[in-house]
Amino acid sequence: MSLPIDELVKEALELPVSTRAFLAEKLLESLDYEEDFSVSTEWREEARRRCKEIDDGIVKLIPAEEVFAALRRRIG
């Protein structure tokens, strides 16, 4: 039995955070497709620039757990 979309969304939003994150990831993965899509030159250059900054040690990657913990401390 399928639920109306608004009821499905309501129920999904009541799930624990970790379960919602898992569900979101699976939904996003389901949107992946084999066909190539075009990426603008600007976005391609931006991605390369950011990767180079990481490779060159210019920026420091921060694990998501640390970011979320800091945000929780800031907003209570």
Rounded to an integer, the average pLDDT of 47-61 is: 93
How does the average pLDDT of the chain come out, rounded? 90
Tokens 């913990």 -> residue: 69
CA 56, CA 62: separation in Å to the nearest integer? 16
pTM of the model: 0.44
Cα dihedral across residues 8, 10, 11, 12: positive or negative: positive
Rounded to an integer, the average pLDDT of 40-52 is: 93
Question: Who's near 60: CB < 8 A, 6+ residues apart?
Answer: none
pLDDT band at 32; cut points 50, 70, 90: confident
What are the extents of the domains in the chain?
Answer: 1-37, 38-76
How far, rounded to the nearest angstrom, does the alpha carbon of residue 2 sit from its chain's CA centroid? 27
